[in-house]
């Protein structure tokens, strides 16, 4: 099922795709939403992983799957409706329990509009616990290409005084192929706890995914305002379990 060759070339591992921003992918100001950007990331990552024979459908055959643990996103400028963008992606060096994936967002002139470093684990679908990656998958990492952002090891603390709390009921349409809430939906929920103006002026969005959400859960989104246009965002479920935490810097 997995890679036949133990060494992958830069050509095979590096991947890029072109997108034209559609009307349903922008906010009321005509800027592409962060949820849409993350959906583009999912699409190119899945296509790249499929070409390398370790996408989610391949892993499901062995009762395993990819789980996103963290996304650190930097935005220089939000593309607008009908703009053409290019998303570049490649897997990068990690260890046996952790993998990284890089993304760059470019406009049609080659200028960088944003970047992202994502952190991944492999999960056993039966035990719901992390498992070690195979040697074949580890050999697809690019050792000669720099990360787009510095790797972070810090944690994000819980919100002490939550504000602007909004509740969501988890629906079937919120789920992904792992049968839990899609990671882009978490971001969409979080942004409901800040103003639309702030959501359109995000410069940095660092999110850590901590627990799964399933159909029937009730999720509360809240925010905390800090200094220098800093915001902290949080999702908790009906049992007060933290689902995700994010740190946001506005431009």
Domain boundaries defined on the chain: 10-138, 163-250
Which residues are CB-contacts of 101 (< 8 A; sequence separation ≥ 6)? 45, 89, 90, 91, 92, 117, 118, 120
Q: Do 93 and 142 form a contact (C-beta atoms < 8 A)?
A: yes
User: How many residues make up the chain in this entry?
Assistant: 251
pLDDT score, position 1: 30
Q: What is the mean pLDDT of each run of 10 residues along the chain (251 residues)?
A: 39 86 96 96 90 75 84 97 97 81 96 97 81 75 79 94 94 87 95 94 97 94 93 97 98 91
Q: How far apart are CA 156 and CA 246, in angstroms?
A: 7
What pLDDT is attached to residue 5?
Answer: 36
CATH code for residues 10-138: 3.10.129.10
Whole-number CA gyration radius for the chain: 18
Task: Give 228-244 pLDDT, tens digit per residue.
Answer: 899 999 999 999 999 99
Question: Is the entire prediction scored with pTM above 0.95?
Answer: no
- The b/e string for 188-222 (b: 16+ C-beta within 10 A; e otherwise) is bbbbbbbeeebbbbbebbbbbbbebbeeebebbbb
> For domain 163-250, which architecture applies?
Roll (3.10)
pLDDT of residue 241: 97
């Amino acid at each position: 099922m997995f890679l036949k060759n133990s060494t992958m070339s830069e050509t095979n591992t590096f991947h890029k795709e072109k997108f034209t921003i559609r009307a349903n992918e922008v906010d009321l100001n005509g800027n592409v939403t962060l949820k849409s950007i993350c959906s583009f990331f999912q699409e190119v990552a899945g296509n790249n992983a499929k070409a390398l024979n370790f996408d989610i459908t391949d892993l499901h055959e062995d009762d395993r799957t990819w789980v996103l643990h963290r996304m650190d996103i930097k935005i220089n400028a939000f593309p607008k409706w009908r703009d053409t963008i290019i998303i570049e992606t490649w897997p990068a060096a990690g260890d046996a329990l952790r993998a990284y994936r890089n993304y760059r967002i470019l406009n049609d002139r080659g200028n960088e509009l944003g970047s992202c470093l994502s952190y991944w684990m492999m999960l056993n679908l039966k035990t719901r616990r992390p498992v070690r990656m195979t040697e074949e998958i580890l050999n697809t990492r690019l050792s000669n290409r720099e990360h787009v952002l510095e790797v972070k090891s810090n944690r994000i603390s819980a919100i002490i005084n939550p504000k602007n709390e909004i509740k969501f009921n988890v629906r079937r349409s919120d789920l992904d192929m792992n049968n839990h809430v899609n990671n882009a939906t978490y971001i969409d929920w979080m942004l409901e706890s800040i103003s639309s103006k702030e959501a359109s002026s995000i410069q940095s969005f660092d999110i850590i995914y901590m627990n799964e959400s399933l159909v029937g859960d009730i999720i509360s989104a809240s925010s905390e305002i800090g200094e220098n246009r800093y915001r902290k965002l949080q999702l908790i479920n009906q049992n007060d379990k933290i689902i995700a935490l994010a740190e946001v810097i506005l431009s």
